[in-house]
């Protein structure tokens, strides 16, 4: 298993033949505005997004940005992208002069997000950025400020914020069906493969498992509990110092406390499989999801029975919903904006500080 995406693909299964979500039940012909998107960083995940966008009505793939000429050529052919809408990293700033592109979706390594978001904003394009949004909260705040100054939207690739079973658990919690929330557990990890990949390079990744798979537990804690944590403690375990060099975490356990008194216990790892599990416990009931963040179908149950909401390709739903946010001002149930991404970065900073100091670190989100 080489990457997080390999891990997520392994838990994916064939889409269930179930009723389509409400947004897909509209008339076959969509005549509204369409978000025209260029993908930046044409790796495995960008390919997954591009394939999913074939089924989008409100978003269309029209451009590509890559440092590899062969990839640009292949994408022009595979996805019907005009040559004039293709750029390399040196010519990327010229996108400002291209009226055919509305937004740039950045799927490059973590350390590149900051500069590329600033470039896209300066070019007057809306920005979608993969998570984590940046290497730290300082970078994240600069990205949020730059997009606000440029008058463009900054959205983060939190696809789970649109996933039907996840949203059903959130609905049940909000309606009080679980009662007072007491505890959350988030387990996220896999055994990482190729030791030369960028995810194990501190300069490109900004860390290790926490900056990759751990972001799901961090963000998931917040949307499952429905509160912002006020403190965090954390402990790191490293069994392989050759593969996981200085600054590249192998396994981190971290704990949160919330204003209500609820607590959470999470795990982020690059050395264990069979995880991807969320568990939410309240005074009146519970929700359990496994897989909880994979490409789907997500599986879960509550004290009231199995979750049976329909599955649709996450990236397709995400792009449809994000197009609605940008074009029509739609307000999602769970935010996906830059401020949401910045909160997770503040937590990441605090987790690393807690590991370093061994102390409980206060959070003010």
Asked if the structure places residue 322 within a domain, the reply is no
Q: Which of 17-31, 64-78, 92-106, 126-140 has the lowest mean pLDDT?
A: 17-31
On whether both 184 and 278 belong to a single domain, the answer is: yes
Specify whether the CB–CB gap between 292 and 300 falls below 8 A: yes
Backbone φ, ψ for residue 73 (5° rounding)? -65, -45
**Helix residue ranges per DSSP H, 187-255:** 202-205, 214-225
Specify whether the CB–CB gap between 300 and 289 falls below 8 A: yes
Specify whether the CB–CB gap between 253 and 237 falls below 8 A: yes
On whether both 221 and 266 belong to a single domain, the answer is: yes
Asked if the structure places residue 306 within a domain, the reply is yes
Structure confidence at residue 106 (pLDDT): 98
Specify whether the CB–CB gap between 346 and 230 falls below 8 A: no
Asked if the structure places residue 317 within a domain, the reply is no
On whether both 8 and 135 belong to a single domain, the answer is: yes
Tens-place pLDDT, residues 298-354: 999 999 999 999 999 999 999 999 999 999 999 999 999 999 999 999 999 999 999
On whether both 30 and 139 belong to a single domain, the answer is: yes
Specify whether the CB–CB gap between 106 and 116 falls below 8 A: yes
Asked if the structure places residue 318 within a domain, the reply is no
Specify whether the CB–CB gap between 212 and 4 falls below 8 A: yes
Decide if 131 is catalytic.
yes
Asked if the structure places residue 321 within a domain, the reply is no
3-state SS class at 86: strand
The whole-angstrom separation of Cα 35 and Cα 67 is 24
Structure confidence at residue 3 (pLDDT): 55
Asked if the structure places residue 244 within a domain, the reply is yes
The β-bridge partners of 255 are 233, 265
- Per cent of the chain over pLDDT 70 is 92
Q: Which of 45, 87, 216, 223 is catalytic?
A: 216
Q: Which of 7-11, 75-79, 199-203, 219-223 has the lowest mean pLDDT?
A: 7-11
In total, how many domains does the chain have? 2
Mean pLDDT of 216-220: 98
Q: How far apart are the first and last CA of the chain?
A: 35
The whole-angstrom separation of Cα 108 and Cα 94 is 19
Tens-place pLDDT, residues 219-264: 999 999 999 999 999 999 999 999 999 999 999 999 999 999 999 9
Q: Which of 135, 158, 181 is the last residue of a domain?
A: 158
On whether both 220 and 288 belong to a single domain, the answer is: yes
Taking residue 59's Cβ as centre, other Cβ atoms within 10 Å add up to 27
- DSSP state at residue 288: E
Q: Which of 158, 186, 219 is the last residue of a domain?
A: 158
- Per cent of the chain over pLDDT 90 is 91
Q: Which of 131, 153, 343, 346 is catalytic?
A: 131
Backbone φ, ψ for residue 76 (5° rounding)? -60, -40
Backbone φ, ψ for residue 283 (5° rounding)? -65, -25
300: Cβ contacts below 8 Å, ≥ 6 apart: 165, 169, 278, 287, 288, 289, 290, 292, 306, 307
Tens-place pLDDT, residues 277-303: 999 999 999 999 999 999 989 999 999
Decide if 216 is catalytic.
yes
Specify whether the CB–CB gap between 73 and 48 falls below 8 A: no
On whether both 154 and 166 belong to a single domain, the answer is: no
On whether both 227 and 170 belong to a single domain, the answer is: yes
Asked if residue 18 has pLDDT above 90, the reply is no
Average pLDDT along the chain: 94
The whole-angstrom separation of Cα 290 and Cα 278 is 7
Q: How many CA atoms lie within 13 A of 197 on its CB side?
A: 18
Asked if residue 25 has pLDDT above 80, the reply is no
On whether both 197 and 228 belong to a single domain, the answer is: yes
CATH number of 273's domain: 3.30.360.10
Domain containing 250 equals 160-310+336-362
Count helices and strands (H / E) in the chain.
10, 15
Asked if the structure places residue 34 within a domain, the reply is yes
On whether both 107 and 123 belong to a single domain, the answer is: yes
3-state SS class at 63: strand
Asked if the structure places residue 111 within a domain, the reply is yes
On whether both 52 and 186 belong to a single domain, the answer is: no
Structure confidence at residue 158 (pLDDT): 98
Taking residue 249's Cβ as centre, other Cβ atoms within 10 Å add up to 25
On whether both 235 and 96 belong to a single domain, the answer is: no
Asked if residue 13 has pLDDT above 50, the reply is no
CATH number of 82's domain: 3.40.50.720
On whether both 238 and 120 belong to a single domain, the answer is: no
Q: Which of 143, 158, 173 is the last residue of a domain?
A: 158
The whole-angstrom separation of Cα 167 and Cα 200 is 33
Residue with tokens 């599986």: 299
């Amino acid at each position: 298993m080489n990457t997080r995406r390999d891990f997520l693909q392994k838990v994916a299964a064939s889409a269930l033949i179930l009723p389509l979500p409400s947004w897909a039940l509209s008339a076959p012909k969509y005549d509204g505005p369409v978000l025209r998107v260029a993908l930046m960083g044409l790796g495995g995940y960008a390919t997954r997004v591009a394939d999913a966008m074939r089924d989008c009505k409100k978003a269309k793939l029209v451009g590509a940005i890559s440092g590899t000429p062969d990839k640009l050529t292949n994408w022009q052919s595979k996805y019907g992208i005009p040559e004039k809408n293709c750029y390399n990293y040196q010519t990327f700033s010229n996108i400002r002069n291209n009226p055919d592109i509305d937004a740039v979706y950045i799927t490059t390594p973590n350390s590149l997000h900051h500069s590329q978001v600033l470039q896209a904003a300066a070019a007057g394009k809306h920005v979608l950025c993969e998570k984590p949004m940046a290497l730290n909260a300082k970078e994240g705040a600069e990205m949020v400020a730059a997009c606000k100054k440029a008058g463009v939207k900054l959205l983060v690739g939190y696809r789970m914020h649109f996933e039907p079973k996840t949203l059903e658990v959130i609905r049940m919690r909000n309606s009080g069906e679980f009662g007072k929330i007491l505890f959350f557990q988030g387990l996220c990890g896999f055994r990482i493969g190729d030791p030369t990949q960028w995810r194990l390079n501190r300069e490109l990744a900004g860390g290790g498992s926490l900056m990759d798979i751990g972001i799901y537990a961090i963000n998931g804690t917040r949307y499952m509990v429905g509160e912002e944590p006020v403190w965090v403690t954390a402990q790191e375990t490293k069994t392989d110092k050759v593969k996981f060099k200085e600054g590249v975490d192998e396994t981190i356990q971290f704990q949160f406390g919330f204003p209500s008194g609820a607590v959470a216990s999470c795990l982020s790892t690059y050395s264990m499989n069979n995880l991807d599990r969320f568990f939410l416990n309240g005074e009146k009931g519970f929700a359990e999801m496994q897989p909880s963040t994979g490409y789907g179908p997500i599986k879960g149950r509550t004290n009231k029975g199995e979750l049976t909401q329909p599955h649709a390709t996450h990236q397709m739903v995400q792009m449809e919903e994000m197009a609605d946010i940008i074009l029509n001002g739609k307000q999602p149930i769970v935010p996906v904006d830059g401020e949401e991404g910045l909160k997770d970065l503040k937590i990441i900073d605090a987790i690393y500080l807690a590991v370093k100091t061994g102390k409980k670190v206060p959070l003010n989100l």
